[in-house]
């Protein structure tokens, strides 16, 4: 590849070019020159309002390949991620077979090595995701797993969480554990509150998240170690994380951008595209999430991408699966629906913080470095058209909406992936 970007505005806080407009020349996957004339290139881009930053990182998307390729495969999820501005993402153990052996990790690396997105493996924390016996954590860590989790299901047994924290402390590893008390949420369909009562749907109380979170924080305080909570959704959860951080505990957390866009009121027409877990909660919870992002309590913004096919989604609300796709729209959803968040806060939570939590190197925008870049227009508008969706699944309430915050493309692994104008 040989691409020259003219007059692109840099978002690079550690660079002397931060918030300046410069030319950026990339050849063979490396940044050749910055701001030194306009030497000819095979492809030249001169787009008004275009910004560049280090490549974005999604800390929570469901991959579903292998095992559920009819919902999403590695190629389609990589294309969706790149279209959404992501150059790197976590790959959780929710596959068939599960990512719980070094052979599975090596297979993932081989399968995705030529895709425009880097997949970082999260090894299964317990055998077959059953929450009972630990996997060979240290062996998987030696073969590339950068964190451990049972993915969509939080480990229910306290003694298993404690043992996982103890093993991971040996190697400064990270446990990612979802905060959900399964029995309290049993057969729940949406946030428990006035709306669920009006609709006659069984609720999922915020207590199911908060109780589980409290337990994990107590275990962390007792044992030490590092814990990441992939999703929080309630005001009390924000406060609990804030208090734990004030005590110096090594806990981090994330929130899906769609939690900032909607509340449980959106479910009133029984639209299953709004059926997610953790559920969309009250306006007060949404406000607390935004405050948590602003004050640093919440560390990362994630897509929460969970593809589901028509057979699992276009059903009566009680029978429909949880989840929505959001890789292509995550940044735009934050820009469109959470106007309280400054651009620099959003970018910190999709560039710097994910890599800091995972102890990964931060990409730099400087000459002679590998190009790991995202190009975007913070105030550009676009329509998420159904016929342009890269994901195999279409379970998104954003299809057909005009959104603010447009991704132009990415450069990573020597590939220039460009969205259509």
Q: Do the domain assignments include residue 136?
A: yes
Residue 290: name the closest of 323, 268, 257 by CA: 257
The DSSP letter of residue 328 is T
CATH number at residue 322: 3.20.20.140
Q: Identify whether residues 169 and 256 lie together within a single domain.
A: yes
Considering its fold, how many domains does the chain have in total? 2
pLDDT digit string (tens) for the chain, length 421 residues: 899 999 999 999 999 999 999 999 999 999 999 987 667 788 888 877 999 999 999 999 988 877 788 999 999 999 999 999 999 999 887 777 788 988 888 888 888 999 999 999 999 999 999 999 999 999 999 999 999 999 999 999 999 999 999 999 999 999 999 999 999 999 999 999 999 999 999 999 999 999 999 999 999 999 999 999 999 999 999 999 999 999 999 999 999 999 999 999 999 999 999 999 999 999 999 999 999 999 999 999 999 999 999 999 999 999 999 999 999 999 999 999 999 999 999 999 999 999 999 999 999 999 999 999 999 999 999 999 999 999 999 999 999 999 999 999 999 999 999 997 6
- Print burial letters for 244-257: b (CB count within 10 Å at least 16), e (below 16): bbeeebebbbbbbb
Cis ω before 278 (30° cut-off from 0)? yes
The rounded radius of gyration (Å) of the Cα atoms in the chain is: 21
Q: Within 13 Å, how many C-alpha atoms sit on residue 275's CB side?
A: 24
**How far is it, in rounded angstroms, from Cα 318 to Cα 321?**
9
Q: Identify whether residues 40 and 69 lie together within a single domain.
A: no
**How far is it, in rounded angstroms, from Cα 236 to Cα 243?**
11
Q: In this structure, are residues 183 and 299 in contact, taking their beta carbons and an 8 Å threshold? A: no
DSSP string for residues in 5-66:
EEEEEEE-TTSTTTT-EEEEEEETTEEEEESS-----SEEE--TT-EEEEPEEES-B---TT
**How far is it, in rounded angstroms, from Cα 180 to Cα 154?**
6
Q: Do the domain assignments include residue 385?
A: no
Q: Identify whether residues 139 and 218 lie together within a single domain.
A: yes
Q: Identify whether residues 153 and 255 lie together within a single domain.
A: yes
Residue 58: name the closest of 408, 252, 349 by CA: 349
- The whole-number pLDDT of residue 109 equals 87
Q: How many CB atoms lie under 10 A from the CB of residue 378?
A: 17
Q: Do the domain assignments include residue 390?
A: no
**How far is it, in rounded angstroms, from Cα 116 to Cα 374?**
12
| 348: Cβ contacts below 8 Å, ≥ 6 apart | none
What element of type H or E holds 269?
none
Q: Do the domain assignments include residue 304?
A: yes
Q: In this structure, are residues 5 and 45 in contact, taking their beta carbons and an 8 Å threshold? A: yes
Phi and psi (nearest 5°) for 2?
-150, 100
**How far is it, in rounded angstroms, from Cα 2 to Cα 362?**
23
Q: Identify whether residues 313 and 193 lie together within a single domain.
A: yes
Q: Identify whether residues 121 and 61 lie together within a single domain.
A: yes
CATH number at residue 42: 2.30.40.10
Q: Do the domain assignments include residue 309?
A: yes
Q: Do the domain assignments include residue 392?
A: no
Taking the C-alpha atoms of 238, 239, 241 and 242 in order, what is their torsion angle to the nearest 10 degrees? Answer: 110
Q: Identify whether residues 100 and 205 lie together within a single domain.
A: yes
Q: Identify whether residues 146 and 227 lie together within a single domain.
A: yes
- Max Cα–Cα distance, the chain, nearest Å: 65
Q: Identify whether residues 215 and 82 lie together within a single domain.
A: yes
Q: Do the domain assignments include residue 396?
A: no
- The whole-number pLDDT of residue 38 equals 61
Range of the domain at 22: 2-52+367-378+401-418
Q: Identify whether residues 174 and 238 lie together within a single domain.
A: yes
- The whole-number pLDDT of residue 95 equals 79
**How far is it, in rounded angstroms, from Cα 125 to Cα 99?**
9
Q: Identify whether residues 47 and 58 lie together within a single domain.
A: no
Q: Return the beta strands (E) in 136-265 as ranges.
A: 147-149, 175-176, 190-191, 203-204, 227-229, 251-256
Q: Do the domain assignments include residue 156?
A: yes
**How far is it, in rounded angstroms, from Cα 278 to Cα 212?**
13
Cis ω before 267 (30° cut-off from 0)? no
- The whole-number pLDDT of residue 40 equals 78
Q: Identify whether residues 197 and 278 lie together within a single domain.
A: yes
């Amino acid at each position: 590849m040989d691409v020259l970007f003219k007059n692109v505005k840099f978002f690079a806080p550690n660079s002397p070019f931060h918030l300046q407009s410069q030319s950026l020349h990339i050849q063979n996957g490396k940044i050749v020159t910055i701001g030194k004339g306009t030497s000819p290139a095979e492809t030249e881009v001169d787009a008004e309002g275009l910004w560049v930053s280090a490549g974005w990182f999604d800390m929570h998307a469901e991959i579903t390949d292998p095992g559920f390729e009819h919902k999403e495969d590695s190629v389609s999820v990589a294309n969706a991620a790149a279209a959404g501005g992501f150059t790197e993402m976590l790959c959780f153990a929710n596959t068939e077979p599960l990512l719980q052996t070094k052979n599975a990790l090596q297979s993932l690396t081989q399968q995705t090595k030529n895709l425009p997105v880097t997949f970082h493996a999260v090894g299964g924390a317990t055998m077959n995701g059953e929450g009972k016996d630990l996997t060979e954590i240290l062996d998987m860590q030696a073969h590339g797993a950068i964190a451990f989790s049972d993915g969509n299901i939080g480990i229910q047994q306290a003694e298993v969480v404690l043992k996982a924290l103890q093993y991971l402390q040996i190697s400064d590893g990270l446990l990612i554990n979802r905060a959900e008390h399964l029995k309290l949420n049993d057969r729940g369909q949406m946030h428990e509150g006035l709306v669920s009562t009006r609709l006659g749907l069984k609720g999922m109380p915020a207590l199911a998240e908060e109780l589980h979170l409290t337990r994990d924080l107590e275990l962390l305080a007792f044992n030490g170690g590092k814990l990441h909570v992939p999703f929080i959704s309630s005001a009390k959860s924000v406060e609990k994380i804030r208090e734990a951080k004030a005590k110096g505990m090594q806990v981090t957390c994330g929130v899906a951008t769609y939690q900032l866009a909607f509340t449980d009121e959106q479910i009133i027409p029984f639209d299953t595209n709004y059926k997610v877990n953790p559920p969309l909660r009250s306006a007060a919870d949404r406000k607390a999430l935004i405050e948590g992002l602003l004050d640093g309590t919440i560390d990362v913004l994630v897509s929460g991408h969970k593809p589901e096919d028509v057979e699992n989604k276009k059903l009566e609300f009680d029978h429909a699966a949880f989840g929505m796709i959001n890789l292509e729209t995550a940044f735009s959803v934050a820009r469109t629906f959470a106007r309280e968040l400054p651009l620099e806060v959003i970018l910190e939570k999709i560039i710097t913080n994910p890599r800091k939590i995972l102890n990964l190197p931060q990409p730099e925008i400087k000459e002679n470095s590998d190009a790991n870049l995202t190009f975007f227009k913070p105030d550009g508008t676009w329509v998420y058209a159904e016929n342009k969706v890269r994901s195999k699944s279409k379970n998104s309430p954003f299809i057909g909406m005009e959104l603010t915050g447009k991704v132009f493309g990415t450069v990573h692994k020597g590939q220039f992936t460009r969205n259509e104008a």
